[in-house]
Amino acid sequence: DGGITQSPKYLFRKEGQNVTLSCEQNLNHDAMYWYRQDPGQGLRLIYYSQIVNDFQKGDIAEGYSVSREKKESFPLTVTSAQKNPTAFYLCATQPPPGLNRYTQYFGPGTRLTVL
Amino acid sequence: AQTVTQSQPEMSVQEAETVTLSCTYDTSESNYYLFWYKQPPSRQMILVIRQEAYKQQNATENRFSVNFQKAAKSFSLKISDSQLGDTAMYFCAFMGPVMNRDDKIIFGKGTRLHILP
């Protein structure tokens, strides 16, 4: 199966714990993105990476960290510094230059709940 | 800074009717892309349609079409012969400038569309 996978689908965290959300793709896309979705807020960009071993902060990076050691993987860690982490998290990829260069494709998402 | 505004938080229409979702945006750029994404109850984000700003012709994809008014910075989505499966949240999105390596999408807050049987 080709595409973008996110795991787990549901994740529960106790206050004070760090958790890592997985995003894997086999589309051979260079760019990968993490978004947070809250009710009535649309999607907000957390971090993005255009190439391996390089990433940039988005609009709401505080309390989050990422790594990009492989082209296929872009895990997101939600740290204890994130004060309100309960949300739906979406990972997206973007193709290299070509027909669909400026289009993002999304994974199925992870619902994170803080207990 | 670019912004995207969807002025209709929620809409309902009868099945088989035509519905138009509104979107306006603000930018000083001339070269950019606009998108409509659909998020059904499964929460999977699906690209519905894409418009390049340099193209005057409005994009169409089967029952979905856009009315792109560049001077007015308006980008509405028309769904013809609406179906129950069109029930979803619809997001308008903007990406630009397209020659910048820093490709980021800005999303509106969404319009929740209900198709009634």
Enumerate the residues of chain A whose CB falls inside 8 A of the CB of residue B104: 33, 45, 48, 58
Banded model confidence at residue A99, pLDDT cuts 50, 70, 90: low
Q: Are B107 and B4 in contact (CB under 8 A)?
A: yes
Q: What is the pLDDT averaged over residues B72-78? A: 97
CA distances from B89 to A30, B14, B48, B111 (A): 28, 16, 12, 6
**What pLDDT digit, counting tens, does each position of A9-24 carry?**
999 988 889 999 999 9
For A46, name the nearest residue in chain B, comparing CA atoms only: B104
Q: What is the pLDDT of residue B31?
A: 86
Give the count of beta carbons closer than 10 Å to the beta carbon of residue A69.
Answer: 10
Of A40, A50, A104, the CB nearest to B105: A104
Write the pLDDT tens digit of every residue in B14-51: 999 999 999 999 998 888 999 999 999 999 999 999 99
**Whether pLDDT at A109 is above 70:** yes
Residues in CB range of B56: below 8 A, 6 or more apart: none
pLDDT digits (tens, 9 = 90+) for A63-79: 999 999 999 999 999 99
Q: Is B34 exposed, middle or buried (0-12, 13-18, 19+ CB in 10 A)?
A: buried
Kindly state the tokens that stand for A54. Answer: 């390089």
Q: Which residue of A has its CA nearest to B96?
A: A102
SS3 B94: strand
Residue with tokens 């860690």: A77
